[in-house]
Amino acid sequence: MTAVFVHGNPMTAAVWEGLLAAIGREDVVLLSPPGFGAPLPGGFDVSPDGYRDWLVGHLERFDGPVDLVGHDWGGAHVVRVAMDRPDLVRSWVSDALALYQPDYVWHDLAVTWQTPGAGERQVAGLADRPAWTARLTGRGMPRAVAERIVDGYDPSLAHAILALYRAAAQPVMARAGQGLERAALRPGLAVVATGDPVAGTLAQRRAAAARAGAQVAVLEGVGHWWPARYPVRTAQLLGRFWRSLDVVTTTVGAPAVRSRSVRAVPGGSSTARWRPPARSGRTPWPGRAPGSTRTPAVP
């Protein structure tokens, strides 16, 4: 069973490296959305629908359903696939469900990007790589990861940021979220990092998880960059979720099929073998690591 990871903004696939070193899965594919660590093809539909269609196109190439994991905008794309093409997914994980709540309000930086003039001035700072590295580390990303991400920026990132956020201005996301209950057709895990200031209120995140029939993993005091900041504990969290699915799979007599490759697919345009970093240390988890609890599926 393949695990597919999709990152968000302003990131590259480097955000997953520490996690993949700890995760212990034999078949992992990393997909970089066009413009976000991968070239942006001419004519690409830089919108929530466009990225959903891009992700669907790549998932259709696999032999069977995948375990889909998304962070930030990657998490939003994952939820769209779970809603609209559940046949492509065995399970899904996302920290971005609240974006589909009718009362979700975009955070301040998103509003800046959505504002003509102000958005262009803000993304112009992408050329100052030390400043962007400092911005990412200031929000809790490990410096080594931030430096690799900034070094991997594609020149089309600034355009992709502005176009995507402007195409996603409300009520676009709320309308897309009208089908959130359909995500309950596949097992889901909503990651709720309580220190994340951009993922919606805790009430919105729990309400969205309930609508999607997802389990909830609460990460107390953890900020936005949870996959990079706490890779070992995140690997444990994902492992518990996937093992619970394997028990069900074994029960019904359909064992998972695994291959032995780990691939990075930037924008889905090329394939390269992912290599773990030279050293991956254990990072302490703030407070205790709460267990997951299941929220009821909406009929």
Written as six digits, the tokens of 152 are 């991997």
Query: For residue 11, is it within any domain?
Result: yes
The CATH number for 35's domain is 3.40.50.1820
Residues 6+ apart with CB under 8 A from 201: 98
CA distances from residue 56 to 62, 79, 215, 276 in whole angstroms, order as listed: 10, 12, 23, 27
Query: What pLDDT score does 247 carry?
Result: 64
> Which two tokens mark 53?
């269609």
Establish if 186 belongs to a structural domain: yes
How far apart are alpha carbons 210 and 263 in whole angstroms? 33
Rounded CA-CA distance 263/228 in Å is 18
Nearest to 75 by CA among 100, 40, 105, 112: 100
Q: Which pLDDT does position 20 carry in this prediction?
A: 93
| Residue 139, in any domain of the structure | yes
Residue 299: inside a domain: no
pTM recorded for the entire structure: 0.84
- Reported in sequence order, the residue ranges of 175-251 that DSSP labels E, i.e. its strands, are 188-193, 215-219
Q: What is the pLDDT of residues 18-33, one digit of tens each?
A: 999 999 888 999 999 9
Nearest of 250, 274, 251, 252 to residue 261 by alpha carbon = 274
* Nearest-angstrom CA–CA distance, 51 and 44: 9
Least reliable range by pLDDT among 18-22, 186-190, 198-202, 271-275: 271-275
Residue 263 has pLDDT above 80, yes or no: no
What range defines the domain where residue 73 resides?
Answer: 3-294
Rounded to whole angstroms, the maximal C-alpha distance in the chain is 58
Which has the minimum average pLDDT: 95-99, 202-206, 274-278?
274-278
Question: Is residue 177 assigned to a domain?
Answer: yes
Phi/psi of residue 262, nearest 5 degrees: -125, 115
Mean pLDDT of 167-196: 97
The total domain count for the chain is 1
